[in-house]
Structure 1
Amino acid sequence: MSNADAWGLPGVLSFFDAARSTVDQVYPSEWFFLRDRLRRGMNVLDVGCAQGGFAAILGEHLDHFHYTGIDINAEMIAKARQRHPGHEFHVVAEDTEWQCLGGRQFDLVMVLGILHLHEGWRDTIARAWGHTGSCLMLDLREHQGQTLEDKTMSSFSMCFGADDDLYEQTRLPYVIVNSAEALAEVRRNTPGAGRVSHYGYLHPVSAAARTPVAEVMTNVWCVER
């Protein structure tokens, strides 16, 4: 099953019907940077937007902004369009250029909750930076050991609210990056960045992960032009 199909499983879609759509559901490491970058009229790109929950989150604080969400799963995007008809959504193919965006630049680009769950995370950072006019926010799972990105060694099951064999057997990579390599990759894929900051905390790995690591640093990186 492809990564795009995995995100379209019924239990996964149902999970995002309610998840990640209010400020209370934003992680502290995300809000640490996001809260100071909210501006009326801002233009936001959300990479891996699921059902567009961040449109509602931003709407709790802003009365005027433009939100564009992209995702690899068509069913997620269909639900996003229904829930947030005033905003813009596109289906994109994984590991390809985002032609639907043309050469557009955004005040804020967010890549949150997906980089540790797909193989092409480095390329995704680079593509997101190419559309960043001011600030890029992204998150990584990190530790002091060797980078783990082979899903035979570190994987994540798609058991969002569902526990039958199909969900358990549908596995994505659970990428845990060496902290020094994380810094190097962020810098390499954001050429010309004026400022790079990060904030995170130790947290047990997800219960859906099958990995030899017990705790990870859930780091949010803020990269500014």
Structure 2
Amino acid sequence: MNNADAWGLDGVLDFFDTERSNTGQVYASEWFFLKDRMREGMRVLDVGCAQGGFASVLAEHLKDFRYTGIDINPAMIERARARHPGHTFQTITEDADWACLGDETFDLVLVLGILHLHEGWRRTIAQAWSHTAGCLLMDLRETEGPTIEDKARSYFRMDFGGKDERYASTTLPYVLINSAEALETVRRLTPGARRTSHYGYLHPASASASVPVDGVMTNVWCVER
């Protein structure tokens, strides 16, 4: 099963009906930056938007904003459109074909919760930066040891949305990046950045993850033009 289909499992779709859809469900590392970067009238791009939960988060704090969500799973986008008819949602491909956006840029670009779960994460960062007019917020899973991108050694089971073997046997890569390499990579993929900041914390990996390390640093990066 490819990554797009994995996100379309019925239980996974149902999980996002209620999760990641209000301010209380925003992680502390995300809120650290997001709370100070919301502005009335802003244009927001959410990469890997699922059902557009961050449109609901922003609506708790803003009266006027324009939100565009993109995702690789069409069923997620269908549900997002039904939940947020006033916003724009588009299906994209796993190889970062974002032609639906044209040359549009956004005041705030969110890439949260997906970079560590797909092989083309570097390409996604570069694409996201090309559509950033103001600020890019993204998160990486980091380690003090060597980078691990081998799915046989570090992977994520889609069992959080279902209880049968089909969910547990459906896996995505769980990419762990050496922290020094993460800094070099972010700088290289965001040329012309005026300021780069990050904030995170060390904690055990998700119960759905199988990783060869004791703790994972979840780092949110804030890159500003």
TM-score by length of 2: 0.99
1:60 maps to which residue? 60
Question: Which amino acid in 2 is paired with 1:119?
Answer: E
* C-alpha RMSD of matched pairs (Å): 0.6
Give, in angstroms, the shift of residue 214 of structure 1: 1.9
User: Deviation per CA, 1:112-153, whole angstroms, max 9, x where unpaired?
Assistant: 000000000000000000000010000000010011111101
The alignment partner of 1:160 has SS state of helix
Question: Which amino acid in 2 is paired with 1:15?
Answer: F
Number of residue pairs matched by the alignment: 225
The alignment partner of 2:128 has SS state of helix
Question: Which amino acid in 2 is paired with 1:197?
Answer: S
Give, in angstroms, the shift of residue 162 of structure 1: 1.4
TM-score by length of 1: 0.99
Give, in angstroms, the shift of residue 50 of structure 1: 0.1
2:172 maps to which residue? 172
2:77 maps to which residue? 77
Q: State the distance in 2 between where 1:120 and 1:169 align.
A: 21
Q: State the distance in 2 between where 1:105 and 1:172 align.
A: 29
Question: Which amino acid in 2 is paired with 1:173?
Answer: P
Alignment of 1:22-101 (within 5 A): 22-101=22-101
1:139 maps to which residue? 139
Identity %: 68
The alignment partner of 2:104 has SS state of coil
Give, in angstroms, the shift of residue 33 of structure 1: 0.3
Unmatched runs of 5 consecutive residues or more in structure 1:
none
1:158 maps to which residue? 158
4+ runs deviating over 3 angstroms? none
Q: State the distance in 2 between where 1:189 and 1:95 align.
A: 17
Give, in angstroms, the shift of residue 163 of structure 1: 2.1
Alignment of 1:209-220 (within 5 A): 209-220=209-220
Q: State the distance in 1 between where 2:191 and 2:157 align.
A: 34
Q: State the distance in 2 between where 1:8 and 1:203 align.
A: 28
Unmatched runs of 5 consecutive residues or more in structure 2:
none
2:4 maps to which residue? 4
1:116 maps to which residue? 116
Greater displacement, 44-53 / 210-219 = 210-219
Give, in angstroms, the shift of residue 161 of structure 1: 3.2
Question: Which amino acid in 2 is paired with 1:118?
Answer: H
1:149 maps to which residue? 149
Q: State the distance in 1 between where 2:221 and 2:21 align.
A: 21
User: Deviation per CA, 1:25-50, whole angstroms, max 9, x where unpaired?
Assistant: 00000000000000000000000000
Q: State the distance in 2 between where 1:47 and 1:172 align.
A: 17
Greater displacement, 209-218 / 138-147 = 209-218
Does the Cα contact within 8 Å between 2:96 and 2:127 map onto a contact in 1? Answer: no
Q: State the distance in 2 between where 1:186 and 1:222 align.
A: 10
User: Deviation per CA, 1:70-107, whole angstroms, max 9, x where unpaired?
Assistant: 00000000000000000000000011330000000100
Q: State the distance in 2 between where 1:127 and 1:96 align.
A: 7
Greater displacement, 115-124 / 90-99 = 90-99
Q: State the distance in 2 between where 1:12 and 1:196 align.
A: 33
